[in-house]
């Protein structure tokens, strides 16, 4: 067995692990990076990137099918395998950034094998024994396939297999109405599949219900069948028969089945030998992302057991570089973390939802709002549906919800404001170009001051005095 001594050993080359490896090695640390599967992890190969590429193909079909403003196309043809070629081409275009050769070029030792702790200070992978001052667990998560009777007798698609499917599903059953389920449901519907979503509670349950309702109505209007409060009891089917999902709300038969019911954290890294405690949610870490039981070990991204997003993995990675490479104290926060569901319309959230803000701030909370139909740009573009909702306390935003066209882009200034604890005056004093959708956000911010300015008798009195006596 070959022995390697290093400063930092990163396990997992997804968004979190790559951020740590690139940052630490460029700051002068010796880094070993270990990956059992594909470089780039879930986001590049089975998650964000293929899903957004498929959504782009689906949007093209949708816009062509629904000509507007006097512009129409002929009958729209969808070449399903060609849409999948686009997905593959996008992955290949981005791959070099995450590749083994790039990381070796930066100075990392890259090992392509499964890593396992053999002691609290050593890991084994691919015939190497690596002793490191610090270990970073960036091992991510995998699709959760629950133990539902009959599921093992049918072919089950997950996010790891659906993007490779070349034939168009005649009728896709999607179990789970979270972001994966909804993004995939709409994309497949637009690419010409019949789609039924079977959801145990309600669609997009983690989001603001008012905003989620706009997305769910849009999906239904496009022909996605959404069955809510339908608990899956069993699954049946077999070769040539399709697949039937049996629920308390009825039975649903389709040609293909996608399971999108959440994620299972990857914990198969010899954690017990490494003295790293964990629960099914992830590695047990303190606020500095350090294992509570083995202080040489950090966890980032999905493995850390919190929010499961690429930008969170990247944020964690940046914190751990500071902690592990520079020895600085760090604290992972969640109050400024955004998320976006890339349905059409998009749904974006940062900070607290209205319900969370009411619970946290009670009567001090002001909910500000501007509807897209008050935006001249939205009206001109025929995209009036949606709104900006801002949760404000003492003149500062603590949360923002945006649903509508480009919500994922429009949330950016609210992310900056909440991360930097800016006041709403940062919005009202900014001059925005006209006509843009961003103006809706500024209008929402301005509504905080409206009553103070326009319904205040003292202001009216002051204005009358200035008009009479002022120069
Ligand atoms: C369909 C889908 C769409 C998504 N869309 C978005 C989106 O639009 N925006 C967003 O922010 N997030 C999105 N996500 C979530 C995002 O993909 C994850 O949160 C992110 O990839 C987590 O990064 P990570 O570095 O923690 O883990 P991962 O990217 O999962 O990487 C972990 C890596 O560790 C490796 N590994 C595991 N165990 C070992 C071991 N013992 N030895 C060696 N290697 C190991 C794995 O092979 C893997 O490559 C999506 C997820 C899915 C499934
Ligand atoms: N745009 C994005 O940022 C994006 C996109 C996709 C995924 N992701 C990440 O991946 C994670 C996983 O996504 P997801 O959609 O798989 O999980 P999720 O946990 O967000 O949603 C799963 C849904 O499945 C339902 N469900 C669970 N068991 C069920 C059952 N037996 N029958 C019917 N319904 C059931 C739940 O009620 C829930 O609504 C997300 O939490 C998110 O962090 C992000």
CA of 263 to the centre of ligand 1 (A): 10
Ligand 2 neighbours by CB, cut-off 6 Å: 146, 175-181, 183, 198-201, 205, 231-232, 260-263, 308-309, 339-342
Q: Strand ranges (DSSP E) for 210-270? A: 225-227, 232-238, 242-247, 250-254, 256-259, 263-265
Secondary structure string (H, E, C) spanning 226-240: EECCCCEEEEEEECC
Residues 172, 256 contacting (CB under 8 angstroms): yes
| CATH numbers and ranges of domains, the chain | 2-143+264-326 (3.50.50.60), 145-261 (3.50.50.60), 338-451 (3.30.390.30)
CA of 11 to the centre of ligand 2 (A): 25
| pLDDT tens, the chain, 471 aa long | 899 999 999 999 999 999 999 999 999 999 999 999 999 999 999 999 999 999 999 999 999 999 999 999 999 999 999 999 999 999 999 999 999 999 999 999 999 999 999 999 999 999 999 999 999 999 999 999 999 999 999 999 999 999 999 999 999 999 999 999 999 999 999 999 999 999 999 999 999 999 999 999 999 999 999 999 999 999 999 888 899 999 999 999 999 999 999 999 999 999 999 999 999 999 999 999 999 999 999 999 999 999 999 999 999 999 999 999 999 999 999 999 999 999 999 999 999 999 999 999 999 999 999 999 999 999 999 999 999 999 999 999 999 999 999 999 999 999 999 999 999 999 999 999 999 999 999 999 999 997 787 888 888 888 888 888 887
Which ligand has the shortest distance to the CA of 175? 2
- 3 state SS of 324: helix
Paired sense of beta strands 141-143 and 242-247, if any: unpaired
Ligand 1 neighbours by CB, cut-off 6 Å: 11-17, 34-37, 41-43, 47-48, 51, 114-115, 138-141, 159, 180, 266, 268-269, 301-303, 308-311, 313, 342
Tell whether residue 262 is among the known ligand binding residues: yes
The predicted model scores a pTM of 0.97
Determine which residue's CA is closest to atom 51 belonging to ligand 1: 47
Atom of ligand 1 nearest to the CA of 159: 1
Which ligand has the shortest distance to the CA of 337? 1
Secondary structure string (H, E, C) spanning 125-184: ECCEEEEEEEEEECCCEEECCCCCCCHHHCCCECCCCHHHCCCCCCEEEEECCCHHHHHH
Determine which residue's CA is closest to atom 35 belonging to ligand 1: 12
């Amino acid at each position: 067995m070959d022995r390697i001594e290093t400063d930092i050993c990163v396990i997992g080359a997804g968004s979190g692990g790559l951020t740590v490896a690139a940052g630490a090695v460029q700051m002068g640390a010796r880094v070993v990076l270990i990956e059992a599967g594909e470089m780039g992890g879930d986001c590049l190969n089975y998650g964000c990137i293929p899903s957004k590429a498929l959504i782009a193909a689906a949007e093209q079909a949708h816009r062509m099918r629904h000509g507007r403003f006097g512009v129409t196309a002929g009958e729209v043809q969808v070449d399903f395998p060609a849409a999948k070629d686009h997905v593959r081409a996008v992955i290949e275009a981005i791959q070099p950034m995450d590749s083994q050769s790039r990381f070796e070029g930066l100075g990392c030792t890259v090992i392509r094998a499964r890593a396992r702790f053999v002691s609290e200070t050593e890991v084994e992978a691919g015939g190497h024994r690596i002793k490191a001052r610090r270990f970073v667990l960036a091992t991510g998560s995998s699709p959760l396939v629950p133990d539902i009777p009959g599921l093992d007798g049918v072919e089950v698609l997950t996010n790891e297999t659906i993007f490779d499917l070349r034939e168009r599903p005649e009728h896709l059953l999607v179990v789970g109405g979270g972001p994966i389920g909804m993004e995939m449901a709409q994309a497949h519907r637009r690419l010409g599949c019949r789609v039924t979503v079977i959801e145990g509670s309600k669609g997009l349950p983690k989001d603001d219900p008012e905003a989620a309702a706009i997305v769910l109505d849009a999906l239904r209007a496009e022909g996605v069948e959404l069955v809510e409060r339908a608990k899956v009891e069993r699954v049946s089917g077999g070769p040539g028969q399709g697949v039937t999902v049996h629920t308390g709300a009825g039975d649903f038969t389709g040609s293909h089945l996608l399971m999108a019911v959440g994620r299972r954290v990857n914990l198969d890294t010899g954690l017990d030998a490494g003295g790293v405690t964990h629960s099914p949610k992830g590695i047990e870490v303190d606020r500095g992302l350090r294992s509570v039981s083995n202080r040489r070990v950090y966890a980032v991204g999905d493995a850390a057991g919190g929010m499961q997003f690429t930008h969170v993995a990247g944020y964690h990675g940046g914190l751990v570089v500071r902690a592990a490479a520079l020895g600085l104290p760090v604290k992972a926060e969640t109050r400024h973390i955004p998320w976006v569901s890339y349905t059409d319309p998009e749904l974006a959230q940062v900070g607290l939802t209205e319900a969370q803000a009411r619970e946290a701030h009670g009567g001090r909370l002001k909910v500000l709002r501007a509807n897209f139909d008050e935006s001249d740009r939205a009206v001109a573009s025929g995209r009036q549906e949606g709104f900006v909702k801002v949760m404000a306390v003492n003149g500062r935003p603590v949360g923002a919800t945006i649903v509508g066209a480009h919500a994922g882009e429009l949330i950016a200034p609210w992310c900056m404001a909440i991360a930097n604890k800016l006041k709403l005056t940062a919005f009202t004093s900014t001059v925005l170009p006209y006509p843009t959708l961003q103006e809706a956000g500024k209008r929402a911010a301005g509504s905080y001051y409206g009553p103070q300015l326009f319904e205040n008798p003292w202001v009216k009195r002051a204005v009358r005095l200035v008009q009479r006596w002022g120069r």
